[in-house]
Amino acid sequence: MAEDEAAGWFSEATATFGDRMAGAREAAGLSQEDLARRLGVRLKTVQAWEDDLSEPRANRLQMMAGMLNVSLRWLLTGEGEGLEGPTLPGALPGKARDALAELSRMRAQMLALAKEMGHLEKRMRGLMREDVE
């Protein structure tokens, strides 16, 4: 992976909150169980955070950033003090680079669709409340 590609490895466009959390946890040498115990939460809670099924509250997020030695901003956005990402010698072959670009494009589409679905769900809930009232 080229150095400029490695620098963006954990960016908002490339990785999710859960990806950054898992990467920082692994870099800190902690298992999911270790992190859960230190944060005072259940293992399935940490797993849900890393799988992007839920997000921690602000107090847990701040504790986690400190434990993992990354900034809160980096955990949330991929910007700021955090992990650099993998550094591999040389550039990726063209086909592998194309596949990564396609994955990145698909992730962006998926995130955009998830955001739209969230807005639609919120609108539907509002409409359902109106019908009840």
Going by C-alpha positions, the residue among 68, 60, 63, 65 that lies closest to residue 25 is 68
DSSP string for 8-68: TTTSTTT--HHHHHHHHHHHTT--HHHHHHHHT--HHHHHHHHTTSS---HHHHHHHHHHH
Q: Would residue 10 count as lying in a domain?
A: no
Residue 127: give the domain boundaries: 89-132
Judge if 73 and 93 occupy the same domain.
Answer: no
* pLDDT tens-digit profile, the chain (133 residues): 333 344 445 555 568 889 889 988 998 899 999 999 999 999 999 999 999 999 999 889 999 998 888 888 888 888 877 776 544 445 567 777 777 777 767 776 777 787 788 888 889 999 988 877 7
Residues 106 and 56 in one domain: no
Task: Decide if 31 is inside a domain.
Answer: yes
Same domain, 22 and 62: yes
Q: How many domains does the chain have?
A: 2
24 with 73, same domain: the answer is: yes
Which residue type does 96 have? A
